[in-house]
Structure 1
Amino acid sequence: MSQEPDDFDNMVQRLGMERLEGKKYVKRLAGGGQATACIYEEPSGQTVVAKLLIAPRSPVEVERFIAEAEALLKLAELRALTHSIVRGVSKAMRIEGLPIFYFFMELAPGTSLASRLEHRPPPWNWQEALEMIMRITSALQPAHAFQYVHRDLHPGNIMIDDAAYSQAQWKEDGTSTGVKVLDFGVHTNVITKMFKPEDPAIETFRPVGSVKHASPEALATPARVRPVSDMWSIGVIFYRLLTGKMPFFGDTLLDLARITSEGNYKEPDAILGAKPSEEKVVLKVLRGLLNPDQQMRLVSGELITIARDILFEGLANACENEPELSDLYFRYRGDIWVCPECRHLVHPFGSRCSVCGRPQEEWLHWKFRT
């Protein structure tokens, strides 16, 4: 039985939007926020997504929409982002005679993390949770390297391709994470802001996106966000995966801004599947992500290194055997060495071991100390 057209389908027909640039309208995919996503079919049969901005309320919305299309095209040119960011395939255009703007981008396979959470409510096993945020961070890291800040990172904007998520593919190709990041509609770029500080498409003086996932600086001073601001959002996602709850609550936006700025949250009573040594390092990761001080918060590369060391290099067991290692490791973000002479744990600031004087070139990295 064919499905009856809904109001949106009827609007598409009335406005002559059944075809855009030779592509045939298939169905509405999602709507919400500032734009609507629809599936269109190429003459070849390949499907793409058209993002539509219908009757924008202000010129700022239009400029931000155009900026998103341009950003996705630029990111699509970066080979490192081929597997991790939904690629743009056209610049933003206006439908002649209508207050409707659109651009095309690839259709990401899989389902959203939000949908997965509905079907598999947390708490998740700590290893699954940690691997998930490691992959999300790996997907976002190349964009961070070019100083793009997503600003609206939450489970609904993270797509998971089950076929590409297998452990084997992750190890063979570090760029193929099985995760794609969607919706750069409220992104900003730190470098661009240096040259166009008043650009309304990238500047804002009020919080944008999902405020429950927003960092303290995104709530208090939105103009000062940095890539590390996205890491707070990843910390919120991590907390939810571990507990099934949100770490911060507020009756008003002002309350939420105050509470997040203090960084006080209830640590999980238990970490599913974790031994005491594993629980200790997982909680340290959580603290590193949900640190209200941007300078002390984990950046994307640090989180990836730490997560890999915990999941694949036996960091938790090493910390259990050498309690001193845990504090030093997280203080120096994994850059910890061992003097083979006296077994003293050191950070490579000096040229010799401070205990026995062994030269730095003879020290062993903590992973290879045995």
Structure 2
Amino acid sequence: MGYKCIAMIGEGTYAKVKLATSKKHQRNVAIKIVNRDKYPDFAEKFLPRELAILRRVHHDHIINVHEYFQVGRRYVCIVMDVAEKDLLQKIHEDKRIPKEQTKTWFSQMVSAVNYLHQIDIAHRDLKCENILLTTDGLVKICDFGFGRFMKESFQHSHTFCGSAAYCPPEVLRNMAYVPKKYDVWSLGVILYTMITGLLPFDDANMGQLARLMEMPLVYPDNVDVEESCRAFIATLLQVNPSARPNIQQVKEHPWLKVDDAQDS
């Protein structure tokens, strides 16, 4: 295939990601490798959806996939552009993301999610680790392993998926949920984490997590978060999914549009 793996750059629950050189593409690429035998349930239910979504999506802020192929019957390989780092790594390096940079990157995420929702795709695993940053400072959303096509905007799902710290309370409670509203909640968690450097909800105690989400949001004392930003995050993290905005409403929110001179 013309690829030579040179390093491991990531490992999730269902896949490993390796850095590889590519003769075909004349540059380094990332190869996501799924072991069908090791995760047969994922391979049967979710992997076909991921591949179908990757065939469909083309957006400036979604990772570009070059090709996918099988190695024998066991391995499925997805070849994509390689990024400099993910958002979580950036937050760990810098403690938190400055406000104006947060607005830029968050707007790019919202643009990508708005595109997905317009073509009736929900991601269902938006988290800092799945937000890649390129060398020229652009956001690229990746990992559509839990993505799914939605025939209708308010079609419900029952599958628990994603990472608990980014899941809305209705998912944690095993209730039927609207996947697109799930994505909006996850964006709220990401925004809080970018601004403060911390996750808003501690997932160490899974049994109490949904209850914690119903309590007033707490901000660390050592971080100055403007009231307009707090209000925006509170809007995204509405416990009642019917009160949570859709992605178009998120995109149009004033906090993403105002300048420093107008902000308070």
Aligning the two structures, in what range does the TM-score lie when normalised by the shorter sequence?
0.7 to 0.9
Task: Find out whether 1:215 has 2:162 as its counterpart.
Answer: no
* Contact 2:120 2:153 (C-alpha < 8 Å) held by counterparts: no
Tell me which of 219, 233, 236 is aligned to 1:286: 233
- From 14, 25, 33, the counterpart of 1:34: 14
Give the deviation of 1:251 after TM superposition.
4.6
Match for residue 151 of structure 1 among 117, 124, 140: 124
Match of 2:57 in 1: 75
CA distance in 2, matches of 1:223, 1:48: 38
8 A Cα contact 1:65 1:92, kept in partner: no
Give the CA deviation at 1:62: 0.8
Please list the CA deviations of residues 223-252 of structure 1 after superposition, one character each: whole Å capped at 9, or x if unmatched. 523222112112112222232322223553
Flag the structure with more relative contact order, 1 or 2, with Cα contacts below 8 A and sequence separation at least 6: 2
TM alignment of 1:1-370, pairs within 5 A: 21-44=1-24, 45-54=26-35, 56-63=37-44, 64-76=46-58, 81=59, 83-91=60-68, 93=70, 95-96=71-72, 100-122=74-96, 124-163=97-136, 165=137, 178-191=138-151, 205=159, 207-221=160-174, 223-260=176-213, 262-267=214-219, 269=221, 272=224, 279-306=226-253, 307-311=255-259, 314=262, 316=263
TM-score (norm 1): 0.62
Tell me the number of residue pairs that the alignment of Structure 1 and Structure 2 aligns.
261
The letter for the 2-side match of 1:182 is C
Cα pair distance change 1:250/1:120, threshold 3 Å: closer
Q: Letter of the aligned partner of 1:140 in structure 2?
A: V
Q: Report % sequence identity.
A: 21
Cα shift at 1:51: 1.7
Deviation at 1:219, TM superposition (A): 1.7
Question: Which whole-Å deviations, capped at 9, do the CAs of 1:22-65 have from their partners, x for residues lacking one?
Answer: 43333333222110112333333233332212254453211212
Q: Shift of the alpha carbon at 1:264? A: 3.0
**TM-score using structure 2 length:** 0.84
Q: 1:291/1:110 Cα in 2 relative to 1: closer, same or farther (>3 Å)?
A: same
Q: Which has the higher helix share?
A: 1
* Matched letter for residue 211 of structure 1: A
* Aligned partners of 1:22 and 1:42 also within 8 Å: yes
Kept in 2, the 8 Å contact 1:73–1:90? The answer is no
Aligned partner of 1:334 in structure 2 is: none
Q: 1:311 to 1:294 in 2, by over 3 A?
A: farther
Instruction: Give the CA deviation at 1:271.
Output: 5.5
In the aligned structure 1, how far is the partner of 2:11 from the partner of 2:173?
28
How has the CA–CA distance of structure 1 residues 117 and 46 changed in structure 2, closer, same or farther, with 3 Å as cutoff? Answer: same
Mapped to 2, the partners of 1:34 and 1:105 lie a distance apart of 16
**SS across alignment from 2:257:** helix
Gap change, CA 1:222 and 1:138, over 3 Å in 2 = farther
Q: Which amino acid aligns with 1:30?
A: G
Alpha-carbon distance in structure 1 between the residues aligned to 2:118 and 2:197:
31
CA deviations on 1:192-247 (whole Å, 9 max, x unpaired) are: 8999x9xxxxx764x32221111122222365232221121121122222323222
**Distance in 2 (alpha carbons) for counterparts of 1:250 and 1:27:** 31
Once residues 153 and 174 of structure 2 are traced to their aligned partners in structure 1, the CA distance between those partners, rounded to angstroms, is 15
